[in-house]
């Protein structure tokens, strides 16, 4: 309790201590870390200022910060725990620990008093990021939200304001005037990406669990992932990957040879995926398994199969195998239900009769391959022209005999529109991919600065349009 009061007092004190900055003078910055203090003065602003919050596990944000600072930006980073700090540069690094209320106060004062022009974050559904985004919306500060590529491999997602169901283009179709570029962007695959991500994740979560303070633990995302259990689950993940390799291969071969376009695929999502929060409504993997098997057993054409694909990152954590088998046995379709935890989802989708998902980005693969798609939750592509939009579980009953697919031209245009608006070439984990993605983010910020300089449009409350968002003029900040 005393710790919370101290943190809140420091947060409230930030505004008073930093008001000197409005006149262009340097001012002390409260460094909200229970173990370290930031005693150097916060510098006066002389370049577009960017605040980086939590990024992908690994050194990607450290590379971004260095790149921005060497290309005319003043980039700062907020670290929330020991896992963040291990991948953060020593300079221009701010530490925060405390409650969500303290974070809201501290962040609001920080971006306003010190003239931050942009905020960049990974995972817009994390609680700290939802609070930051809401504050930025009120203050008119553009937020660039990063996410794994909607289409992978070879792409990462970069959008202003939000991703997935919070994307500016979620639930929409391309405007009539949109014309896809004739020049296809070269897509590079990064084979080392998954291994690098797994290594970074192990290091990040290990250090986070071992060395973070009590105050920092309050703001953990993926709260239930304890260090010892995570190590066990990831060991089990790799064990199952190689143990089931041959079985997965034989099952896929059998499906393609004997049930081509006569099976439905259901890609299961990571159990604590942020997309299974507000965007999923009441749906989760267990409810999807139960509803889909019962509906399939009663309504699917005879001889058709049902294939559940376990997410590669869930292979060690998941206990869905047992549940799928039990429900299948109870509904007398055990011989028609298959479970895979490896293999190409793209290949499975290409030869499937349809796909059912809560809101996985795998739905874009179904659109690409032109197969019927049922979506249960809120998703980027949830539109009746693109998918069969489920509002109640009973709606799924008619999907198994539904053969409606969006026209090929619409699907092609839609996917090109998504790439054009949301995706950049690169990767967050493989070395070469990080270079490409960091340069794409730099280019996006530079374009936003140029747009602000060339086409400012004042609104009634004195704000100006900036790259699709609004930014109010910040007093005391140098003009850029």
Nearest to 427 by CA among 156, 231, 185: 156
DSSP for residue 427: -
DSSP for residue 163: S
* CA distance linking residue 70 with residue 63, whole number of Å: 11
* CA distance linking residue 456 with residue 462, whole number of Å: 11
pLDDT digits (tens), the chain, 480 positions: 444 444 443 443 333 333 333 333 333 343 333 344 444 567 889 999 999 999 999 999 999 999 999 999 999 999 999 999 999 998 999 999 999 999 999 999 999 999 999 999 999 999 999 999 999 999 999 999 999 999 988 999 999 999 999 999 999 999 999 987 765 667 788 888 988 998 998 899 888 988 888 889 889 887 666 677 777 887 888 888 899 999 999 999 999 999 999 999 999 998 878 888 889 999 999 999 999 999 999 999 999 999 999 998 888 888 899 999 999 999 999 999 999 999 999 999 999 999 999 999 999 999 999 999 999 999 999 999 999 999 998 999 999 998 899 999 999 999 999 999 999 999 999 999 999 999 999 999 999 999 888 765 443 345 544 433 333 332 233 222
The tokens for 381 are: 């592509």
| Through-space distance between the first and last CA atoms of the chain, rounded to whole angstroms | 43
Residues of the chain with CATH 3.40.50.2000: 247-422
The tokens for 131 are: 């609070």
Specify the 3-state DSSP secondary structure of 305. Answer: strand
> Which architecture characterizes domain 2-148+430-472 according to CATH?
3-Layer(aba) Sandwich (3.40)
| pLDDT tens string 422-469 | 999 999 999 999 999 999 999 999 999 998 887 654 433 455 444 333
* CA distance linking residue 26 with residue 113, whole number of Å: 11
Q: Find all residues with CB under 8 Å of 254, minimum gap 6, and list them.
A: none
Task: State the CB neighbour count (10 A cutoff) for residue 2.
Answer: 6
pLDDT of residue 16: 35
| pLDDT tens string 134-179 | 999 999 999 999 999 999 889 999 999 999 999 999 999 999 999 8
* CA distance linking residue 462 with residue 423, whole number of Å: 32
* CA distance linking residue 421 with residue 444, whole number of Å: 11
Residues of the chain with CATH 3.40.50.720: 2-148+430-472
pLDDT of residue 283: 95
Question: Does CATH number 1.10.3720.10 belong to domain 247-422?
Answer: no
Q: Tell the burial category of 378 from Cβ atoms under 10 Å away from its Cβ (0-12, 13-18, 19+).
A: buried
Sheet holding 388-389, edge to edge: 337-340, 305-309, 263-267, 354-357, 373-375, 388-389
pLDDT of residue 56: 97
CA dist list (Å): 264 to 81, 251, 351, 378, 403: 42, 14, 9, 21, 12
């Amino acid at each position: 309790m005393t710790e919370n009061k101290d943190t809140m007092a420091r947060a409230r004190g930030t505004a008073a201590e930093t008001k000197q900055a409005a006149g262009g003078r340097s001012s002390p910055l409260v460094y909200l870390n229970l173990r370290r203090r930031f005693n150097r003065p916060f510098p006066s602003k002389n370049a577009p200022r960017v605040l980086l919050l939590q990024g992908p596990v690994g050194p990607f944000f450290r590379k971004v910060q260095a790149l921005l600072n060497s290309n005319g930006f003043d980039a700062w980073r907020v670290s929330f725990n020991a896992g963040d700090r291990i991948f953060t540069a020593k300079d221009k690094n701010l530490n925060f620990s405390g409650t969500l209320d303290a974070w809201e106060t501290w962040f609001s004062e920080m971006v306003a008093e010190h003239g931050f022009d942009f905020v960049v974050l990974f995972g817009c559904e994390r609680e700290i990021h939802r609070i930051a985004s809401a504050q930025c919306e009120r203050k008119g500060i553009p937020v660039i939200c990063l996410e794994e590529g909607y289409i992978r491999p070879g792409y990462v997602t970069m959008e202003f304001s939000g991703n997935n169901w919070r994307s500016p283009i979620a639930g929409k179709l391309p405007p009539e005037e949109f014309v896809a570029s004739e020049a296809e962007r070269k897509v590079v695959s990064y084979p080392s990406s998954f291994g690098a991500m797994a290594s970074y994740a192990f290091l990040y979560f290990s250090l986070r669990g071992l060395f973070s303070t009590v105050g920092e633990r309050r703001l953990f995302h993926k709260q239930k992932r304890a260090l010892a259990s995570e190590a066990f689950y990831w060991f089990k993940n790799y064990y199952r990957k190689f143990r089931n390799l041959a079985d997965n291969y034989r099952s896929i071969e059998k499906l393609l040879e004997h049930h081509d376009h006569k099976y439905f695929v259901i890609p299961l999502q990571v159990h604590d995926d942020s997309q299974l929060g507000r965007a999923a409504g009441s749906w989760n993997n267990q409810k999807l398994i139960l509803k889909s098997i019962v509906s399939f057993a009663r309504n699917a054409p005879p001889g058709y199969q049902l294939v559940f694909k376990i997410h590669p990152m869930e292979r060690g954590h998941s206990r869905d195998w047992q549940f799928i088998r039990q429900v299948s046995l109870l509904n007398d379709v055990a011989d028609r239900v298959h479970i895979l935890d490896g293999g190409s989802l793209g290949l499975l989708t290409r030869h499937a009769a349809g796909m059912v998902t809560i809101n996985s980005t795998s739905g874009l693969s179904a659109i690409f391959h032109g197969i019927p798609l049922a979506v249960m939750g809120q998703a980027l592509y949830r539109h009746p022209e693109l998918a069969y939009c489920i509002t109640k579980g009973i709606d799924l009953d008619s999907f198994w005999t539904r053969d409606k697919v969006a026209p090929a031209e619409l699907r092609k245009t839609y996917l090109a529109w998504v790439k054009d608006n949301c995706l950049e070439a690169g990767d967050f984990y493989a070395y070469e991919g990080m270079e490409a993605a960091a340069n794409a983010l730099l280019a996006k910020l530079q374009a936003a600065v140029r747009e602000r300089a060339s086409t400012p449009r004042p609104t009634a409350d004195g704000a100006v349009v900036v790259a699709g968002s609004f930014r109010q003029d910040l007093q005391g900040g140098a003009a850029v």
